[in-house]
Chain A
Amino acid sequence: MKKLYLVTALMIVASIILTACGAPATTAPTQAPVTSAPTEAMTEAPTAAATEAPTQAATQAPSGQAPDCTKPDVFCVGFVTDVGKIDDKSFNQTAWEGVQKAQSDGVANWVQYIETTDSKDYDKNIATFADAGYDMVVTWGFALTDATYNAAKQYPNTFFVGGDQFLSKDDNHPDWPLANLVGVVYNEDQSGFLVGALAAMVSKSHKLGAVCGTDAVPPVWRYGEGYKAGAAYEDAKNSTKTEVTVVYHSDVGFDKTFTDPTWGADTANSMIDKGADAIFGCGGKTGNGAVDAAAQRKVYAIGVDTDQYFTLPEAASQMLSSAMKPETQPVADIIKLAKDGKFPTGGLYAGPSGYAPYHDLASAVPANVDAEMQALLAGLTDGSIKTNVPPVKPAQ
């Protein structure tokens, strides 16, 4: 009797393994090379005050069968996240929506995402798309910078778009810029500056708070410091004194710093206890927790990366604005450019800065404040106003 079970078990295991071997092997990408028109060094996307159309449809997993992406007329786009989730209601989600938009606009035939669960898998996940013949791989997150660069060199016929991946020519990246690689970079300090200025002008207690992820991540650092700079700018202009406190969740590891909403809520509550009446949540789900808590305590909440009025409905009534990092449109634009043979060269693509509309709180923002906000946006965009925030946190 025992032997029978053992044999049966071995047969089941063997058959499972055999089915895998029977599956078609991966094919090398065969694509007609896409010619890229020569363009100037850096392509600027048009800046806008209130940016993309609100996306009501939440993140959806792709459905249906994948077509054969190796065929030249089938344009497939893959999306690789950093360690984190596709549904983080800000960073990853918004960029993915840009990819989906490309599909719904008819530019891409098929789109797909892979969530990275361990930084060890970056290369593997990118290669999964590239080996399957995908025409473009979008990797989102600065930690994927090196993996994306290496993949771009290894797969010269595939386009690579890196979000938050700032590169320049150096010993580690001697061949930059590459014709098939572009990094989408933002001036998060400008968006932080804008919402900081807004909060400073609108606050009654003149105490502001920000709850962010770890400051070891440069975009987060820029958001936080930009927020302070914006408040200081308005202070100088209006002779007010605003206290701004930014607390970074640097005391936990990378795996937890953006996924700790309870800490975010506790920290926000602590700030509100001390009189803060505007809380800026800048750090994935940790920040979302802070925004949630702020809304519950009926103080102003400020979102990040996307117009969180739409992605955080429970905080919508208190959402004053959001520091915008418009990802959806630029990603969709780049995909279209690639398809049309005009992939942006020069290595970097500047995303716009901005702030979200006030929605339900429009009545709390007087006309002169609104005018000032638009002037600030214009000034930051044309360079006449500078935030003076260093791009990364200075080493201690």
Chain B
Amino acid sequence: MQSSNEPGFIKNLRQWLEPLIVPLLAIITAVILGGLIIKSVGGDPFAAYRGLVQGAFGSKKALSETAVWATPYIFAGLAVAFAFKGGLFNIGAEGQLAFGAVAAALIGYALPKWLGHDIPAFIHIPLAVGLGMLAGGLWAAIPGALKAYTGGHEVINTIMMNYIALNITSFLLNGPMKDPNPLNVVARTPAIAKSARIAPIFDGLRVHWGFVLALLVALLIWWILQKTTLGFEIRTVGSNPDAAKYAGINVQRTIIISMAISGMLAGLAGAIEVTALNYRHELGFAVGYGFDAIAIALLGKTNPFGVVLAAILFGAMRNGGTRMQFLTQIPVDIISVIQALILLFVAADAIIRFIYRIRVREERVVLTRGWGG
């Protein structure tokens, strides 16, 4: 219980730690349940988890790979979380990410050709990444505008936009943007110019500066949401659109901006994957990240820092899962089960509180307001 003669710094510490208790316990409970499932089919849970952790954190290379996995998850998770803050459910991160990647790849390999000469990196990289961001933002602004002006629900519209994006990128990568090298048979773009590539942080490891950018962007998003007028407007529209209207906020404009920023973050995820990791875009890259991002945003309770932690957790699990399978032959699918359980317990924190007898005051995150209309 809180006491009024508690020194200030303990109170601050408690404020920071309290929101972490339930997610932490949720993770532990899910891990225990997952272990029981593994045991029930004849596996060794301790070996499995040891493999998982070793694969995720057990060496410099493992840590690097976890960071590599976490980077797009952070961006995409922020995208979905940001939209949630604005009262919108952006399932379209998948398609926005795809366009971000395509745009970045195009600038990356085609711009020097169009201009006829090389471009210095300090111009080329921001251009590629920036245009990727814009492409994602535009792709999300369309369903945003539809929602704002016609009331069409963003869940369905963004799902449709995902399919449309898939079709368009398939067409582009098999056709006009396909690597013309006669030995190339895959649906992919040519490699981007060296001047468009974001460097790895350490020699020999794949972790790149995009990871650092992701952390900075998370900070930026927190700042926008908490410290700017725009952020205030977005959050107000998100929690109570009627109150927002009475307060004089232009709800329609805010909805479009929320979706646009969300899309830009998702586009950033794709653009960074292209410029910092793969150095090209290929059909089959970055598949499913948009949907993982939903779980990550929910796990992080739409808080930017929570999203970063959740993204690292999910990245660690995806990365470590292969080592777990390698060492113990337990199918990687168990990772999905554990992720679902974690999400379940975090979301239904009442279950966790019941099990562990905790009374923690938490801000209830409102996500669903029906289909609108």
Query: Do A and B interact directly, with beta carbons closer than 8 Å?
Result: yes
Within 8 A of B (CB), among A206-264: 216-218, 250-255
Check: A124 CB closer than 8 A to any chain B CB.
yes
> Whose C-beta in chain B lies nearest to the C-beta of A18?
B53
Chain B residues within 8 Å of A252, by CB: 166
A6:B329 contact, CB within 8 angstroms: no
Min Cβ gap A98→B in Å is 19
Check: B28 CB closer than 8 A to any chain A CB.
yes
User: Do A117 and B332 contact each other (CB < 8 Å), given the known contacts A17-B57, A216-B283, A254-B284?
Assistant: yes
Check: A296 CB closer than 8 A to any chain B CB.
no
B28:A26 contact, CB within 8 angstroms: no
Check: A395 CB closer than 8 A to any chain B CB.
yes
Check: A53 CB closer than 8 A to any chain B CB.
no
Check: A266 CB closer than 8 A to any chain B CB.
no
B50:A121 contact, CB within 8 angstroms: no
> Whose C-beta in chain B lies nearest to the C-beta of A19?
B50
B287:A254 contact, CB within 8 angstroms: yes
Q: How far is the CA of A218 from the CA of B24 in the complex (A)?
A: 47
A250:B321 contact, CB within 8 angstroms: no
Check: A128 CB closer than 8 A to any chain B CB.
yes
Chain A residues within 8 Å of B56, by CB: 20
Count of chain A residues with a beta carbon within 8 Å of a chain B beta carbon: 55
Within 8 A of B (CB), among A97-138: 112, 114-121, 123-125, 127-128
Check: B17 CB closer than 8 A to any chain A CB.
yes
Chain A residues within 8 Å of B68, by CB: 120
Q: How far is the CA of A119 from the CA of B186 in the complex (A)?
A: 13
From B28, B183, B186, B278, A143 is in contact (CB under 8 Å) with: B186
B185:A254 contact, CB within 8 angstroms: no
A142:B357 contact, CB within 8 angstroms: no
B187:A216 contact, CB within 8 angstroms: yes
A119:B356 contact, CB within 8 angstroms: no
Check: A367 CB closer than 8 A to any chain B CB.
no
From A12, A170, A251, A255, B284 is in contact (CB under 8 Å) with: A255
Chain A residues within 8 Å of B49, by CB: 16, 19
Chain B residues within 8 Å of A121, by CB: 319, 322
Q: How far is the CA of A251 from the CA of B168 in the complex (A)?
A: 10
> Whose C-beta in chain A lies nearest to the C-beta of B72?
A120
Check: B318 CB closer than 8 A to any chain A CB.
yes
B185:A218 contact, CB within 8 angstroms: yes
Residue of B181, B318, B326 with most chain A CB atoms under a 10 A cut-off: B326
Chain B residues within 8 Å of A125, by CB: 322
Min Cβ gap A391→B in Å is 8
Secondary structure type dominating chain A contacts: mixed
Q: Which of B137-145, B170-178, B298-306, B341-349 contacts A (4 or more CB under 8 A)?
A: B170-178
Check: A363 CB closer than 8 A to any chain B CB.
no
B284:A23 contact, CB within 8 angstroms: no
Chain B residues within 8 Å of A26, by CB: 59
B285:A117 contact, CB within 8 angstroms: no
From A117, A255, A392, B318 is in contact (CB under 8 Å) with: A117
Within 8 A of A (CB), among B2-33: 17, 21, 24-25, 28, 31
Within 8 A of B (CB), among A1-50: 1-2, 5-6, 9-10, 12-13, 16-17, 19-21, 23, 25-26
Q: How far is the CA of A119 from the CA of B101 in the complex (A)?
A: 15
Min Cβ gap B196→A in Å is 17
Check: A83 CB closer than 8 A to any chain B CB.
yes
A170:B285 contact, CB within 8 angstroms: no
Q: How far is the CA of A255 from the CA of B285 in the complex (A)?
A: 9
Q: How far is the CA of A255 from the CA of B292 in the complex (A)?
A: 15
Chain B residues within 8 Å of A2, by CB: 21, 358, 360
Check: A62 CB closer than 8 A to any chain B CB.
yes
> Whose C-beta in chain B lies nearest to the C-beta of A167?
B183
Chain B residues within 8 Å of A112, by CB: 326, 329
User: Do A61 and B322 contact each other (CB < 8 Å), given the known contacts A13-B24, A20-B54?
Assistant: no
> Whose C-beta in chain A lies nearest to the C-beta of B284?
A254
Q: Mark B304-335, 1 if CB is under 8 A from A, else 0.
A: 00000000000000110111011101001000
Min Cβ gap B102→A in Å is 13
Q: How far is the CA of A1 from the CA of B61 in the complex (A)?
A: 40
User: Do A118 and B180 contact each other (CB < 8 Å), given the known contacts A9-B21, A62-B329, A216-B187?
Assistant: no
User: Do A6 and B322 contact each other (CB < 8 Å), given the known contacts A25-B59, A63-B329?
Assistant: no
User: Do A115 and B332 contact each other (CB < 8 Å), given the known contacts A17-B53, A253-B287?
Assistant: yes
From B25, B61, B318, B332, A9 is in contact (CB under 8 Å) with: B25
User: Do A61 and B28 contact each other (CB < 8 Å), given the known contacts A124-B322, A143-B284?
Assistant: no
Chain B residues within 8 Å of A395, by CB: 174-175, 178, 180
Q: Mark B171-207, 1 if CB is under 8 A from A, else 0.
A: 0001100101101011100000000000000000010
> Whose C-beta in chain A lies nearest to the C-beta of B179?
A395
User: Do A128 and B323 contact each other (CB < 8 Å), given the known contacts A5-B25, A170-B183, A252-B166?
Assistant: yes
Check: B84 CB closer than 8 A to any chain A CB.
no
Min Cβ gap B208→A in Å is 12
Min Cβ gap B13→A in Å is 11
Q: How far is the CA of A315 from the CA of B49 in the complex (A)?
A: 40
Q: How far is the CA of A117 from the CA of B284 in the complex (A)?
A: 11
Check: A168 CB closer than 8 A to any chain B CB.
yes
Check: A396 CB closer than 8 A to any chain B CB.
yes
**What 10 A-B pairs come out closest when comparing CB atoms?**
A254-B284, A20-B53, A216-B187, A218-B185, A20-B54, A392-B185, A255-B287, A61-B329, A20-B58, A9-B24
5 further contact pairs, Cβ within 8 A, besides A117-B322, A121-B319, A124-B65: A23-B54, A23-B58, A66-B327, A120-B277, A251-B170
